[in-house]
Amino acid sequence: MESLGVVVNPIAGMGGRVGLKGTDGKLEEARRRGAEPRAPDRAREALEALHRRTPELTVYTAANVMGERAVQDAGYEPVVVYDLATPAESKTAAEPATAEESKTNPATAKESRTTPETAETTAADTRAAVEAFLEHDVDLVLFVGGDGTAVDVAQVLEKASDDATPMLGVPAGVKIYSSVFAVTPADAGRIVAEFDRVADREVNDIDEEAYREGEVRTELRAVVPVPVASDVQSSKQVSSGNVDSLAAGFAREIDANRTYVFGPGGTVGAIERELGIDTSPLGVDVWRDGELLARDASESEILEVLEEPVTIVVSPIGGQGFLFGRGNHQLSPAVIRRADEIEVVASGTKLDGIDALRVDTDDRDLDDELRGWIQVRTGRFTTRLVKVV
């Protein structure tokens, strides 16, 4: 591979830790709650892993927080082909600008002050950047974001040619239902450097407003070529089978002296219902000795009510196996480190469709601590030993 297009959605995932389950239409609310960007750091991590393997790669990107900064920080000299600071009708540059030119160009002066916290990028910006990459015949588009960003990239690639340019995602959004993402940012960098073939994968998206109300409505939006690698995640399975006996067994062993942090999902929700909790199906609830301390809580709200000892109860995402880092960003490293116990629950049917468990917390040291063999409760009295990789 000789050239790569890189586009970053700088606000992707900002709604996660503050309990908004996404950023679509909720950016100002996320900022008001103190949300911090995560996409730029994850972009840099992916590109650093790539630079260690292929430092001579030509990298086309969008100006400033949409890619240029991360590309520079990783050690590449970016070729900027799309600039947010120019008018919408002429945002795609006819000729690429080098990193040094983009610094001195008056048209980019305003944009140079943009930060991920103040970025006002849109789906149209993502699509225009990808269109610019295609004008320069990139070999692959690497994007950083969630399912919404994946849809924007895929739609441009599908329209451009019958022989679509392949794409790969660095996971940074709250919802990751598509099978076009690497497992971790570092995996994405390695895959880009080493892949030698592609296969068609699904791009899915969900209705965020319905998601915030506890309902998952998924829709297949595109089928696109993606590098073939073991570290590209599967599509998420929405249902996982009957877990009533599992819930009954868990509830029978509740410790009244413990604080329980219940993650999102149907399996954990069944346990909460068994305990009589008014659950938030896709949120995080904190409960202790019959009292609901926080419902559908953000990271800060969880930390505020935690009283040790603490048990976090999570179920892996069906088809992907993630325990942390997908759809439950409220369970941040700070929250996880407060817990002395992590209970993983899943039906045997769900585990049968998972090759391994995974974590992606934004904290490499914590990820390493969480890896290894763990017992997963599968029924009233049964457990299964599964490895976190």
Q: Are 285 and 272 in contact (CB under 8 A)?
A: yes
pLDDT value of position 385 = 86
- State the sign of the Cα–Cα–Cα–Cα dihedral 179, 185, 186, 192: positive
pLDDT value of position 112 = 42
The answer to whether residue 183 scores a pLDDT higher than 80 is yes
Q: 348 CB contacts (<8 Å, ≥6 apart)?
A: 378, 379, 382, 384
Task: Encode pLDDT of 85-109 as tens digits.
Answer: 544 443 444 344 444 444 334 333 3
pTM of this prediction? 0.63
pLDDT value of position 261 = 98
> Which comes out higher in pLDDT, residue 7 or 39?
7
300, with CB counted inside 10 A (0-12, 13-18, 19+), is: middle
Cis peptide before 309 (omega within 30 of 0): yes
The DSSP code sequence of 32-98 is: HTT----HHHHHHHHHHHHHHH-TT-EEEEESGGGBHHHHHHTT---EEEE-TTS-GGG-EEEEEEE
**Kind and range of the H or E element at 163?**
none
Residue 236 pLDDT level (bands cut at 50, 70, 90): low
Domain ranges in the chain? Answer: 3-227, 244-388
Specify the 3-state DSSP secondary structure of 350: helix
In angstroms, rounded to a whole number, what is the distance separating the alpha carbons of residues 366 and 370?
6
In angstroms, rounded to a whole number, what is the distance separating the alpha carbons of residues 380 and 270?
13
Task: Encode pLDDT of 350-361 as tens digits.
Answer: 888 888 999 999
What does the pLDDT average to over 311-320?
Answer: 91
* Chain length of the chain: 389
The answer to whether residue 223 scores a pLDDT higher than 90 is no
In angstroms, rounded to a whole number, what is the distance separating the alpha carbons of residues 59 and 325?
28
